Amino acid sequence: MIDNFNDVKETPNNKFADSALGKKSEGSVLDKFADIADKALAVMCDGIKCCPIENGEWTGERGNSKWCPDKNYVPLKANPEGKTWDEILKKFGIDGIYFKDGEPDFRPISKGNVEIKGFSDDRTDNFDKADIELAKQKGCSPEDVKRWRKENGYTWHECRDMKTMQKVPSIVHNNISHSGGISEAKKGA
């Protein structure tokens, strides 16, 4: 018998109506609320669908707790030296990355946070705007910011609010799956 949300959340199509509980309520007074439940479930699942699953573990609920990578695993992206997660995490003084509603919080390892105007689904354009804004903060040129990013292995993380940009280590950012501002921009949010 299905009696709680945990029995519903792992449905194959992420639809309440397709779950055992949804089918049980079919034709009842609850049937008219299935559409509402499906929409809420879709929003919740969309927020966490890009969160990490393999090569680590969550301290709590997936997408709403800390992701702790397997310290012995060697991530593949932006990692030419073949460092393990243990070496990477120690270098940046962290033991994982916190997520809230499926969005990673890279602030603890960010070397610059800026807000840009005119966020788009064009990553290069967003990066250029972020370089300009950080250059204003630091009193240098946007070219200096871009050069520093490239030489030190940093990238811009585009936050879901479609304005905040965080300058973070590529080796961490590129190896922790997530959705961010580009995903939101492509949805037309």
Q: What is the DSSP letter of 63?
A: T
Q: What is the mean pLDDT of the chain?
A: 85
Between the alpha carbon of residue 70 and those of residues 73, 82, 89, the distances in Å are 5, 14, 10
Q: Please write the tens of the pLDDT for every residue from 140-156.
A: 999 999 999 999 999 99
22 pLDDT tier (thresholds 50, 70, 90): low
Mean pLDDT of 10-35: 60
On whether the CB atoms of residues 176 and 69 are closer than 8 A, the answer is yes
Convert the pLDDT of each residue in 24-67 to its tens digit: 666 666 666 655 555 555 445 556 889 999 999 999 999 999 99
| In the chain, domain spans | 5-48, 56-187
pTM metric for this prediction: 0.74
Return the percentage of the chain with pLDDT > 90, whole number.
68
pLDDT at 80: 97
Q: Which residues contact 27 (CB under 8 A, 6 or more apart)?
A: none
